[in-house]
Structure 1
């Protein structure tokens, strides 16, 4: 069985219509900033790739396997949530496996109306079958480019870039930073650190971040998900982060002074004020934040998510999926869920996309063109 898909691929069920103001959100142009390659596999692809390497899977039916991922991920713990990646990364250890996953990733983004996406993944986790770091990056880039070509052949358009990620609990930060910079003119647009957050601050990788700063290479850092304000501070100071991966726990630095029937009066701490004033984008992922317990301090339902508080206060909020497989979601679904919870309309959804466009790691002129395309797309509905 070949690792390359044999024919046309269908979009996942998560791209079913999600309606806001009478408009199917799927047709709206969108930007995806925080989307993990190893968290966006199709269940059927996992089954087929696992069969090629004689790897046992919990379920051999695609729908049942999708259910398994959803159950395992809905634990309320980031540590438990991350264990599901043992299976997805296991089938992403060859050139063809990586290329297939990357190609389908792009097709699924395009089917959901995404016009620009940054795809993050950790090459150091994909070396078990003999690939080098550079070979892994090149395989993913090949798949991404195949996906873009397929989308264009269908009459649509999408652009993607890699965010090369280092695992924060490992000691390869500088090596992975150098890898990212080597491929900066071949598809890699930025750097990230990910993995278990608590106990592994960005400062552990300060030498890597120093190198990236010297190379004028953009950085986003997972922070404010499974750890609090100190982690965010380290991401900004030690990591020179231009965006915060999740960053939801920045709301811990916002104090509600009083409220009445119409207004909530708050004060910002120095950290949250800095993030707001510098317009540092928050890569918020509503469903994932619920699953991992990132918003446990505020509640356990979407209405409890501090997303709306941050938005109303003027923070640069963006909407993301994090891991489409584990959360069984899409960007359209996340936007529709927020609209339902907080009463957002299409103007709000456009704001979120313009925020994301401004925060991409594209050159300024390309960001401006992307913003124009988004506004044009929203104007036509």
Structure 2
């Protein structure tokens, strides 16, 4: 069977020019042609000279209307190898994947975006093509173009090249609701690497009114050298090599509020956990000062300017906002909502969300020795 498959793949490869899409775009001056996949969207992006914009419309519309899946199985092997590299041999990815599986009992966020190895082993070309025909249609697609272009001309090309694109089906709604968590969940991941710690509390979706305050809380804890946890763990106590706080995964579903760190030898993960808990208690008891809040606002504004200062990044923000909320302006409203957070808001969300009844803790540990070394 493997010999027949190899022969069929060889026959199919004779009918295609590998990477020709990329080659045509590169000859036209394009750069950064790539794609990413998250829980809620797949993004395709490229930078190219404005006078070659019509070429993008011609090539991308052909790819969306009538793609050829002749190279499916070689590309599937590439995805499998990518999964092995990113998930199975990365200590941090292993730890976070295990934590997600423990924190989510029913929601899809508990499954890696790239899927399980067994999912990829069973995936067929027919299944992939059916998925594409169902969901890669006009109703689910958003295009953002930023640069020195004529908007009227862009609209004309969009109608000409994409006007007859099939509508497609809306993606199925995720209706799963996590059951109540009844206490701290703890897991250990054995891997031959330096120890790591991940703590994650049940949080809110990205469009929840409390999401901006949780974003500010993350900056207060680990946003730069003057943040509470960095200053204590990395600079003062020197018990950690690094520490980070963020919200994720995804955006539309029930996210987690994460704090991750790597202990500095000879210190251990349980020391980091206790120090993290102590700093959280401080914020729960006393809101951040006005000076701290101003520093955070300045950091957030500077980050917004950097993120939106390049055409490439601005296009991504606009497309994400339109696809997620149905309005490209929402990205700017969310940025302003973060700036408007008060010290009392930060204290309130720390009290409400960072509690043991919603906490999952994962630690990366070396495998126990199977016996004495001879």
TM-score if structure 2 supplies the norm length?
Answer: 0.23
Larger CA Rg, structure 1 vs 2: 2
